[in-house]
Amino acid sequence: MIEIFIPDIVIVNGQIHTLDKQHDPFSEALGITGNRIMLVGLNREVEALAKGRTRVIDAKGRVVLPGFIDAHTHFAHMGIREGQLNLSDTKSKHEALSKIRGFSLNKASGEWVIGSGWDESHWSDSKEYMTKGELDAVAPNNPVLLRRVDGHLDCVNTRALEILNLRKDTIGYEIVDGVATGILKEDAVELAAKILEPSVEQFATGITTATKTAHRLGVTSIQDAQVDGRMLKAYRSLNQAGELNIRASLMPTTEYLDDLVTLGLGAGFGDDRLRLGPLKVFSDGSIGAGTAAISEPYLDNPDELGLLMWENEELENIVFKAHKNDIQLAIHAIGDRAIDLVLDCFEKANLQQKKDLRHRIEHAEMLSVKQITRMKEMKIIASMQPNFVGQWGLAGGMYDHRLGRERTMSMNPFASIVKSDLPLAFGSDCMPFDPLYGIHWAVNAPYPMQRMSPEQAFKAYTIGGAYASLEEDKKGSLEGGKLADLIMLDGDPFNDPSHIKDMSVDMTIFNGIVVHERG
Ligand SMILES: [Zn+2]
């Protein structure tokens, strides 16, 4: 019986940042038995437990933290994308087009060329989307579909339009003077995605590929923010085979609400490896695509206030039905007008009822101090992406271009959120999928309303995500009895916060097993 107290792994000579409530920065060692953390303490306490079969890891003073929990990813899709054309590093439209030409040359005639990650706001030669004609010129023999970095806008060519064969009245199907421009937004984007949907096997392969990336970057749990039946089957098949090496919480989309109600399913169903997350509902679009619902017009398009996806009453009904049936909600709301509407719906659904459902607002980029107070009152979690600050919030970036400096300065107000003690979960939305990059921009954000301490940022990327999936008793901090998901860094973000994005994860331990170790 005494055997079970012999640790399988001990880490000594570390700086263990537990990120629990006490956050004792003087812990230097940690022991793991099976898939659990056995104890956190001093070197001599932990070393005394090590026996012959214990692996002793000398951290040599390095920082040890809980594994990252990415509270908003498109993980299965990210894995699929790794086999597609990646345009995220393109510095000009010219470069993007020549990459598309090169990629399509390796495809058979008629085979789809699918790419993503482009962001015209980063281009030096043009801030315009790619046109149908430009894509026809570089890939005349292949249908081409290129999804913008935010996932809310596609550029397609003529052959793609022929195959997609969208109805002219499809929302977001851009037609000018009776001719399709090749720009797809909103419903048109969704329809195109459905037509090109990968199979269960392709998703399973994608999840496995993405898991390798996750381990390298220190991510041990993900929340997949838009899953359908095929993706769920792929996750289940991997889990059943014992091959799901990441903890996944899955968010079904609005169309499944009635099914969930009928079956009596809600967040938390499942186990510590694979579980059902909240219902994902969209309320508006994105700022990059000019579709986030805002209260004052876009700076670069003075007639535009963005799009709301539902009539007020429709959204109210969704919120009411989900809440009544104990289904957690994760509502995508980016513009201030969308956030107000979502908060009104929550208010009408009478959240004061004694239910700890932990509804969330996803992104909440244009969040006001008043809205933070309302969220706090209704116990709504802010699920946000600090990497957006680095991607779009710097001087001359997309926020400046679309919204102007004044509004840019109060976007993603992490400092105000922390000050009001609103529950905050960080995620990446896969733009890019890299917690250290995101944390860097929360800590080194350009404007005071956005800036937070390294400890606050790491908490949002660990225990904050665990709270958002109702799992804070099991993971998210380094405490005896919790799941052994942890990482070791090659730098010290607490002493050297200006270089967090350049740091690497030296080791990742998932479920008590070393799954990533650098050279
Ligand atoms: Zn998303």
What the block records as the tokens of 181 is 């421009």
Strands (E), 253-359: 274-276, 279-282, 329-333
Compute, in angstroms, the gap from residue 59 CA to the centroid of ligand 1: 36
Instruction: Give the model's confidence band at 14: pLDDT under 50 very low, under 70 low, under 90 confident, else very high.
Output: very high
Instruction: Give the model's confidence band at 349: pLDDT under 50 very low, under 70 low, under 90 confident, else very high.
Output: confident
Taking a C-beta distance cutoff of 8 angstroms, is the pair 232, 250 a contact? yes
pLDDT tens across 360-378, in order? 999 999 999 999 999 999 9
Which one, of 40, 11, 15, 27, lies nearest residue 495 by Cα? 15
Compute, in angstroms, the gap from residue 404 CA to the centroid of ligand 1: 24
Taking a C-beta distance cutoff of 8 angstroms, is the pair 378, 343 a contact? yes
Mean pLDDT confidence for 438-450: 97
Which one, of 379, 401, 370, 371, lies nearest residue 298 by Cα? 401
Compute, in angstroms, the gap from residue 465 CA to the centroid of ligand 1: 15
Taking a C-beta distance cutoff of 8 angstroms, is the pair 427, 223 a contact? yes
Model pLDDT, residue 81: 85
- Rg of the Cα atoms in the chain: 23
Mean pLDDT confidence for 228-252: 97
**378/396 Cα distance (integer angstroms):** 36
Mean pLDDT of the chain: 95
Mean pLDDT confidence for 428-437: 96
Compute, in angstroms, the gap from residue 47 CA to the centroid of ligand 1: 44
Instruction: Give the model's confidence band at 462: pLDDT under 50 very low, under 70 low, under 90 confident, else very high.
Output: very high
Model pLDDT, residue 504: 98
Beta-carbon contacts of 186 under 8 Å, excluding residues fewer than 6 positions away, are 152, 171, 172, 285, 291, 307, 309
Distance of alpha carbon 166 from its chain centroid, rounded? 29
Buried b (16+ CB within 10 A) or exposed e, 171-191: ebbeeeeeebbbbbbbbbbbb
What the block records as the tokens of 150 is 């935010």
pLDDT tens across 293-348, in order? 999 999 999 999 999 999 999 999 999 999 999 999 999 999 999 999 999 999 99
Mean pLDDT confidence for 120-124: 95
Compute, in angstroms, the gap from residue 22 CA to the centroid of ligand 1: 33
Place of tokens 């149908």: 132
**273/262 Cα distance (integer angstroms):** 25
Model confidence at 2: pLDDT above 50: no
* 3-class state of residue 464 by DSSP: helix
Model confidence at 161: pLDDT above 60: yes
Distance of alpha carbon 319 from its chain centroid, rounded? 22
pTM for this prediction: 0.85
Count other Cβ atoms within 10 Å, centred on residue 447. 16
Model pLDDT, residue 23: 63
Compute, in angstroms, the gap from residue 200 CA to the centroid of ligand 1: 21
Mean pLDDT confidence for 405-425: 97
Compute, in angstroms, the gap from residue 72 CA to the centroid of ligand 1: 6
What the block records as the tokens of 235 is 């996750």
Instruction: Give the model's confidence band at 92: pLDDT under 50 very low, under 70 low, under 90 confident, else very high.
Output: very high
Instruction: Give the model's confidence band at 5: pLDDT under 50 very low, under 70 low, under 90 confident, else very high.
Output: confident
Compute, in angstroms, the gap from residue 429 CA to the centroid of ligand 1: 5
Taking a C-beta distance cutoff of 8 angstroms, is the pair 466, 472 a contact? yes
Q: Which domains does the chain have, with CATH numbers?
A: 85-195 (3.10.310.70)
Compute, in angstroms, the gap from residue 227 CA to the centroid of ligand 1: 11
pLDDT tens across 498-508, in order? 999 999 999 99
Instruction: Give the model's confidence band at 150: pLDDT under 50 very low, under 70 low, under 90 confident, else very high.
Output: confident
- Three-state secondary structure of 245-260: CCEEEEEEEHHHHHHH
**245/238 Cα distance (integer angstroms):** 9
Compute, in angstroms, the gap from residue 225 CA to the centroid of ligand 1: 6
Model pLDDT, residue 422: 97
Compute, in angstroms, the gap from residue 226 CA to the centroid of ligand 1: 7
Compute, in angstroms, the gap from residue 451 CA to the centroid of ligand 1: 23
Compute, in angstroms, the gap from residue 74 CA to the centroid of ligand 1: 6
pLDDT tens across 189-212, in order? 999 998 888 989 989 999 999 999
Compute, in angstroms, the gap from residue 73 CA to the centroid of ligand 1: 6
Q: Are strands 153-156 and 144-148 parallel, antiparallel or unpaired?
A: antiparallel
Compute, in angstroms, the gap from residue 383 CA to the centroid of ligand 1: 10
Beta-carbon contacts of 149 under 8 Å, excluding residues fewer than 6 positions away, are 88, 116, 117, 118, 119, 288, 391, 431
Query: What percent of the chain has a predicted confidence (pLDDT) above 70?
Result: 98
Model confidence at 215: pLDDT above 50: yes
